[in-house]
Amino acid sequence: MPSNDVERIAAIADPFQLLRVATERLNAAQLEVTELSRLRRRVIQDLHAQGLSYAQIAKEAGLTRGRIHQIRHTGPAPEGAFLGKGTITLATPLKREATNARPVVAMEDVTAAKRLEDLARGFGLAMELEHVPLGGDIDLNRPNLIVICGPKLSPVMGALYESDPIFEWVKDDVWTLRDSRTGTTYRSGSDSDPEQPIDYAYLGRLPRPDGKGTVLVFTGIHPQGTLGVVQLLQTEIAALWGQVADKSFSTVISAEYDPETGEPVKAELASPLYLHEET
């Protein structure tokens, strides 16, 4: 923290305001330290993957080989940046209860949010939870935003999905996902005859409407697909980060699940993983 910043805060006469400002600045500084540590570890990993030894990296960086090796294997993992940086906002949709029309959150969305929050915490990331309100009006022009919501519940999200150059949501008798590149249509097993315990989900990072960043979005055709995406992130986030980093992309995830509990038993890519800059 710059010394003039410390002096400015120390000069605050009101002790409660001083406490608030010092806490806010300390929290911001801790987030900066976390992200700088993540960036430093990523650079070392990238240089080592390019063929440089730890000794060579240490010599160029002015550090010891032991210190470089320590940085490489400790601290927040680089792949956590797949979710965002610092404090992430996760939005899940409110739905209208069938019996008395009260706004409620689906239990699967609550479960998905909790598991994603635990994953983020493991990467040194904080997470704030909010809801996409009834009617689906949500501000997408914010940094570090993840939204679990499909086009059915939010016209705003529907417009965002339409910006995807590869996949489209199609509503006929049921909702499906269509790959315009291959012509493949992904239809949930629960909407098929005979029914099968498999669902499909969209996962992508799309440009914000204001063009000043991106939004990470995912949702299943049905709730089981949403849980499948979270399971894939829990097990394969390093591989996903290695392929797409922080670039815009989209893909379809298949989620096989236990028909009794709805819990995913296998989640994997069902389509190619498309980088949008290559389309």
Q: How far apart are CA 157 and CA 148, in angstroms?
A: 10
**pLDDT above 90 as % of the chain:** 59
Cα–Cα dist 44/56, whole Å: 11
- Specify whether the backbone of 135 is left (phi greater than 0), alpha (psi in -120 to 50) or beta: left
Per residue in 191-226, pLDDT (tens digit) is: 998 999 999 999 999 999 999 999 999 999 999 999
pLDDT, tens only, 243-255: 998 899 999 999 9
Rounded to whole angstroms, how far apart are CA atoms 81 and 90? 15
CB 86 within 8 A of CB 125: yes
- At residue 100 the predicted structure's pLDDT band, cuts being 50, 70 and 90, is low
Q: What is the pLDDT of residue 24?
A: 83
State the pLDDT confidence band at 99, using cuts at 50, 70 and 90.
low
Which has the closest alpha carbon to 191: 229, 151, 222?
A: 222
The lowest-confidence range among 78-87, 95-104, 140-149 is 95-104
Write down the mean pLDDT value for the chain: 90
Element at 271 (helix H, strand E): none
pLDDT for res 76: 72
Query: b/e for 238-260, b at 16 or more Cβ within 10 A?
Result: eebbeebeeebbbbbbbbbbeee
DSSP, residue by residue, 75-131: SS-GGGGGT-SSEEEEEEE-EE-TTT--EE--HHHHHHHHHHHHHHHHTT-EEEEEE
